[in-house]
Amino acid sequence: MIINEIVDNALVRNYRNQEKRNYIGASGLGDECARRIQLQYMHCDSTINANQVRTFDIGHTLEGLVAQWLRIAGFDLRTENVQGAQFGFSTADGKIAGHIDGIIFQCSNEMKEDFNLENNSLPCLWECKTMNAKNWSETSKHGVFATKFVYYVQVQLYMAYMDFDCCIFTALNKDTSEIYFEKIDFDSETAQKYSDRAVDILKACENNELLPRLASDSSFFKCKMCGFYSECWKNCETV
């Protein structure tokens, strides 16, 4: 239908007109492909469709709803500072940064016991993700480290730069509305490793050096799924 085309085009156009990030975000530093992080930082052309834009928007909206549910349950959860902006951090002259979903300042003693918070100080980091049933099932069964390592890296960097001892990770199943909670403790080794990775990416950009691709062949399925596929592989079939 024409209306679908009109809405889809408007969503993609609006997304592309948004201000580009001028920093490497903590949310992507765990990506297995360093070149993809680099190309995004360099504002290279990427492909995106309306379904992806809608998925982003739905995720942001549902995260706000989960925060509301936690407050109803008695969490002192704050998602904005006194100025009404997201909490976050910035380092390396603003070239490495991140914005967190929220901070849990207090919760009931029963919740502290359930999350094993007695040996960790509050406030703590709160990170929320929305997932389809398949991803949610895998994450709730095996944990964030094993199934969503990019999220694990993300919260480690947040904890490192914002001085948190732990994170309460929350995942909403978009298909069933089930919620999974996991306490993730601070891992200084991982935080340092991926902080160093960000610095290495910045240095490569400053030296006009493209970092290695994830694969040596353009037919690799993960490369074909990447929004930077055309930009990364143009005029080249192999490394």
> CA 95, CA 198: separation in Å to the nearest integer?
9
Per-residue pLDDT, averaged over 183-203, amounts to 97
Given this model, what pLDDT does residue 237 score? 47
The answer on pLDDT for 238 being more than 70 is no
Tell the residue number behind the tokens 């739905």, with chain if given: 58
The answer on pLDDT for 235 being more than 60 is no
SS3 for the chain is CHHHHHHHHHHHHHHHHCCCCCCEEHHHCCCCCHHHHHHHHCCCCCCCCHHHHHHHHHHHHHHHHHHHHHHHCCCEEECCCCCCCCCEEEECCCCEEEECCEEEEECCHHHHHHCCCCCCCCCEEEEEEEECHHHHHHHHHHCHHHHCHHHHHHHHHHHHHHCCCEEEEEEEECCCCCEEEEEEECCHHHHHHHHHHHHHHHHHHHCCCCCCCCCCECCCHHHHCCCCHHHHHCCCCEC
The answer on pLDDT for 236 being more than 70 is no
The answer on pLDDT for 163 being more than 70 is yes
> CA 37, CA 201: separation in Å to the nearest integer?
8
Given this model, what pLDDT does residue 136 score? 98
Given this model, what pLDDT does residue 59 score? 93
Render pLDDT for 66-88 as a digit per residue (tens, 0 to 9).
999 999 999 999 999 989 999 99
CB 70 within 8 A of CB 82: no
CB 171 within 8 A of CB 131: yes
Per-residue pLDDT, averaged over 228-235, amounts to 85
Tell the residue number behind the tokens 């001085």, with chain if given: 163
Render pLDDT for 91-149 as a digit per residue (tens, 0 to 9).
999 999 999 999 999 998 888 888 888 656 799 999 999 999 999 999 999 999 999 99
**This prediction's pTM:** 0.92
Render pLDDT for 28-42 as a digit per residue (tens, 0 to 9).
999 999 999 999 999
Q: Tell how far CA 179 is from the center of its chain.
A: 18
| Among candidate residues 43, 25, 20, the one with its CA nearest the CA of residue 153 | 25
| Among candidate residues 119, 115, 93, the one with its CA nearest the CA of residue 104 | 115
Per-residue pLDDT, averaged over 191-208, amounts to 97
Given this model, what pLDDT does residue 120 score? 60
Given this model, what pLDDT does residue 71 score? 97
In the sheet with 102-106, reading across from the earlier edge strand, the strands are 76-78, 102-106, 124-131, 166-173, 179-185
Domains of the chain, earliest start first: 30-233 (3.90.320.10)
Per-residue pLDDT, averaged over 12-39, amounts to 93
Torsion of CA 140, 116, 167, 56, to 10 degrees: 30
Tell the residue number behind the tokens 């940064």, with chain if given: 97
